[in-house]
Structure formats: C-alpha cells, structure tokens
Amino acid sequence: MLKFYDREFSSRLLIGTALYPSPRIMQDSIRAAGSQIVTVSLRRETAGGKTGDAFWSLIRELDVTVLPNTAGCRSVREAVTTAKLARELFGTSWIKLEVIADNDTLQPDVVGLVEAASILIKDGFEVFPYCTEDLSVALRLVEAGCKVVMPWAAPIGSAKGITNRDALKLLRARLPDIALVVDAGIGAPSHAAEALELGYDAVLLNTAVAKAENPVAMAGAFKLAVEAGRTAFEAGLMDARDFASPSTPVVGTPFWHAVS
C-alpha cells in the first residue's frame, strides 16, 4: 500500500485535472487511471460561477482525495497565502507546494520552497513539495518536516521522461523512509514504469494523459505501466552488466570442452 502521512492508498498513480478536452473526458480518464488522488489548482477551480460548481460536482462523483496545489505562485508569501485559502476551501491540511522560479522552465525556486514548506508545516500542513532532483534540497525539505518529496523527472509538460536517472536513484537510496513521487516531465507509460522500477512510490502526471489523442485510453495505459513498474521493483530487477551472459549455459553439457 502507498502511504502519504497517515493515509493509505492502493493506487500509485496521481493525476491532474487540467487541460482535458472536456470535463466528462477528465472524469472518464481519472476513472480509467484508477487514481485515488487528484490535484487541483486553487486559482483555476475557484474562479466562481456555474463552471466551478460543475467541476466540483464531477470531482465529488469520482470519490477521490483532492490534493490542492499552489500552481503559479512565485513567492513564499503568495504560496503560503494560497495554501491557507486551500485549507479553508477544501477542508484539508494537504497541499502540493509549488514555488516557481522561472517562467520558461517552470523550475522550482528551491530556496523559497524550503522556506514556504517550513512555514506551512509549523502551521499544521502536510506538505507535498514539488522540487528538482537535487539531493541537498530534498534533505532540507525532510529536515523541515516533509514526509513526502516530489522531484521532477523533467520540466513540467516537457514529456522528456527521466533525464537524470542517477540523481533520482541517489534520492531513493538516501531517503529510504520518505515517500517519493516523480512529478512532472512524464510523457509516456514507459517513463512511469521506469520511475516505479527505481523504487519510487508513485508518479504524478497530467499533460501526458490530458493531451493524448485518446485521454481515456492513455490513462488506462499509465495505470498498467505503474502496476508493472512496481511489480518489477518488488520482484527484484537484475543488475545491468557490461558483458554478455548466456541464457543457456554450455558448461557441463556434452557440447562443452576445454580449450588447451
């Protein structure tokens, strides 16, 4: 089972609610993914009016856990204020924390992120910080009290997949007791499977499903990929090697002989 703070889930695929062709396709895609946690942008979904009411009606029908995020925030003050508004609106202490440093890459402001996380954790929040794959940043987030860390595979929406495999492996090795979620840059089911094969606890994605030609089918493909990746990790993957190893050994068979 996947555990975030004091709650357990059977699905290891978290999914976003933005960019879908229609609200109904969003709902069908989330069902096909089997996701039990969905992220929502406070700014986008609380604009008010009938559109917002219709959106929340669809979310309630799904019977999922909502993880509000601070998407678009570019300062510590803005992120903290948005998180507090989200807690009042959604009645949850969970927050996906984003503090963005650069408009082109949407790279996290790691200094501001650690500061904001510290403030929110002291105020009773359970923080899911979106960060880079930098070990020092992850360690500081854990020291601040985060029990979940969410490093990117690549920039948001880039679909590049894991671009720094060694760094992600190091994070997993150094933080064995922390829930790690690959967040951002996932573009194909194989990318998600790779993250789970590395021992990551889950992946969070949005664009790869929402922008697919058939979002519902793609969501189902990601569900299978995540399950396969986790099963492979638990089964124990063989180590890569630089030399060949025959799958059918000849030593000890009638066809083997010593060469003098």
Report the chain's terminal Cα–Cα distance, integer Å.
57
CA contacts within 13 A on the Cβ side of 118? 13
Q: How far apart are CA 145 and CA 148, in angstroms?
A: 9
Strands 126-131 vs 7-9: parallel, antiparallel or unpaired: unpaired
Q: How far apart are CA 86 and CA 123, in angstroms?
A: 13
Instruction: Judge contact between 208 and 186, C-beta under 8 A.
Output: yes
* Nearest alpha-carbon partner for 90 in 73, 59, 67, 119: 67
* Nearest alpha-carbon partner for 111 in 93, 134, 128: 134
Residues that are catalytic: 96
Q: How far apart are CA 196 and CA 219, in angstroms?
A: 16
Backbone angles phi, psi at 12, to 5 degrees: -110, 20
Q: How far apart are CA 204 and CA 210, in angstroms?
A: 13
Tell me if residue 158 falls in helix, strand or coil: coil
